[in-house]
Structure 1
Amino acid sequence: MSRFPLLFPSGREARILGIASFVYGAGFGSFAASSAVYLTRSVGLDLSAVGTGTAIAGFLAILTALSAGRLADRFGARNLLVYLSVAQSLLFAAYSIVDDFASFVVVICALTLADQGARVARNSIIAEIIPGRNRVELKAYLRSVTKAGLSLGALSAAVPLYLDTRPAYLAVIFCNSGAASLTALLVRRLPRRPISLALAASPAAHNWLALRDVPYMSVAVLCGMLATYRSLLTIALPLWVTTYTDVPPSYIAVLFTCNTVLGILLQVQVSKRADTVEAARRAAGLGALLIFPACAIFAISVAAPLILAMLLLALGVVALTVGELLTSSAAWCLSFELADDRVPGQYQGAFALGMSVETVIGPLLATGLVVGVGATGWLTAGVLSVVIGFTLTVATRWALDTRAAVLTPEPCPPDLPVRLAYAEAIPTLNLQPRAATAVARYRSGSIVASRRTGRSGQLDGSRYAIDSACES
Structure 2
Amino acid sequence: MRTQATRKIRDFGADPQERRLLFTVAVDATGSGLLISGATLFYTRVTGLSSGQIGAGLSAMGIVGLLATVPNGQLVDRIGPRRALIALHLWRAVWCSALAFVDTFWQFLTALMLLGVAEFAGMPALQAYVARAFGDERRMRVMARVQVTKNTGFLVGALLASAAIATGTTLGYRVLLLGDGVSFLIAAVLIAAVRNVAGPASRRTRGPSPLAPLKNARFLALTCCNGILQLNLSALTVGMPLWLATRTQAPPAIAPLLIAVNTVIAITLQIPLSRGAETVPGAGRHLRRAGLSLALMCTTLILASWTSQAAAALLMVASVVLHTLGEIWHASGGWGLQFALSPEEERGSYAAAFSLGPTAEGMIGPSLVGAGVVAAGAPGWLALAAAFLGAGAVAHRIARRATAPEPAVQLSTADRRAAPADTADGPATVR
- TM surpasses 0.5: yes
Sort the Cα spacing of 1:365 and 1:399 in 2 relative to 1 into closer, same or farther, 3 A.
farther
Distance of aligned partners of 1:100 and 1:379 in 2 relative to their CA distance in 1, 3 Å threshold = same
Give the AA of the match of 2:74.
R
Residue pairs, 1:40-55, within 5 angstroms: 40-55=44-59
Specify the code of the residue in structure 1 equivalent to 2:164. Answer: P
| Gap change, CA 1:111 and 1:360, over 3 Å in 2 | closer
**1:190 Cα deviation from its structure 2 partner:** 1.0
- Mapped partners of 1:259, 1:446: distance in 2: 40
- Does residue 162 (structure 1) correspond to residue 163 (structure 2)? The answer is no
Shift of 1:332: 0.9
Q: Do the aligned partners of 1:63 and 1:353 also contact (CA within 8 Å) in 2?
A: no
RMSD: 2.4
Letter in 2 for 1:263: A
Structure 2 counterpart of 1:319, from 322, 325, 339: 322
Q: Are residue 239 (structure 1) and residue 242 (structure 2) matched?
A: yes
Aligned-partner SS, 1:99: coil
Distance 2:135 2:254 in 1: 42
- Name the structure 1 match of 2:221: 218
Which residue in the other structure is 1:455 paired with? none
C-alpha distance after superposition, 1:286-317 (max 9, x if no partner): 12111122111110111211111101110111
Q: How big is the shift at 1:363?
A: 2.8
Give the TM-score taking structure 1 as reference length. 0.82
The one of 285, 290, 297 aligned to 1:287: 290
Matched letter for residue 17 of structure 1:
L
Deviation at 1:209, TM superposition (A): 2.4
Conservation of the 8 A alpha-carbon contact between 1:215 and 1:398: no
Match in the other structure for 2:185: 181
Greater strand content: 1
- State the secondary structure of the residue aligned to 2:251: coil
How many residue pairs match? The answer is 414
Distance 1:278 1:179, change over 3 A: same
Equivalent residue number for residue 111 of structure 2: 107
Distance in 2 (CA, whole Å) between partners of 1:213 and 1:53 is 33
Greater percentage in helix: 2
Q: Paired residue for 1:452?
A: none
**Partner residue of 2:131 out of 113, 127, 141:** 127
1:37 counterpart residue number? 41
Structure 1 position 81, deviation (Å): 0.6
Matched residues in 2 for 1:323 and 1:116: separation? 22
Q: Is the CA contact (8 Å cut-off) linking 1:33 and 1:154 kept in structure 2? A: yes
Once the two structures are superposed, residues 450-471 of structure 1 have per-residue CA deviations (whole angstroms, 9 ceiling, x without a partner) of xxxxxxxxxxxxx966xxxxxx
Where in structure 2 are the equivalents of 1:48-67 lying within 5 Å? 48-67=52-71
Which sections of structure 2, spanning at least 5 residues, go unmatched? 1-6, 409-418
What amino acid does structure 2 have at the position aligned with 1:399? Answer: A
Q: Which has the higher contact order (CA 8 A, sep 6+)?
A: 2
Amino acid at match of 1:376: P
Q: 1:379 aligns with which of 377, 382, 402?
A: 382
* Shift of residue 115, structure 1, vs aligned partner: 2.0
Q: 1:382-461 to 2 correspondence within 5 Å?
A: 382-400=385-403, 403=404, 427=420
What is the identity, as a one-letter code, of the residue corresponding to 1:392?
Answer: A
Map 1:268-283 → 2, pairs under 5 A: 268-283=271-286
CA contact (8 A) 1:65 1:120 kept: no
Residue number in structure 2 paired with 1:91: 95
CA deviations over 1:325-367 (Å, ceiling 9, x no partner):
1111100111111100012111111111243342355334412
C-alpha deviations, 1:24-67, integer Å up to 9, x for none? 11122112111111111101111110011001111111111111
The structure with more radius of gyration: 1
**Amino acid corresponding to residue 234 of structure 2 in structure 1:** S
Q: Distance in 2 between matches of 1:280 and 1:109?
A: 35
Say if 2:141 and 2:274, in contact at 8 Å, map to a contact too: yes
2:144 to 140, 160, 174: 140
1:253-309 per-position Cα deviation (integer Å, ceiling 9, x unaligned): 000110011001110111113121111111111121111221111101112111111
1:201: how far off?
Answer: 4.3
Q: Which residue is equivalent to 1:69?
A: 73
Distance 1:6 1:389, change over 3 A: farther
TM-score, structure 2 normalization: 0.90
Matches within 5 A, 1:8-47: 8-47=12-51
The 3 A distance-change label for structure 1 pair 63 and 399 is farther
- Cα distance, 1:200 vs structure 2: 2.2
Aligned to 1:342, which of 329, 341, 345?
Answer: 345
Shift in alpha-carbon separation, 1:82–1:381, aligned structure 2, 3 A:
same
Give % identity: 26
Unmatched runs of 5 consecutive residues or more in structure 1: 410-425, 430-444, 449-462, 466-472
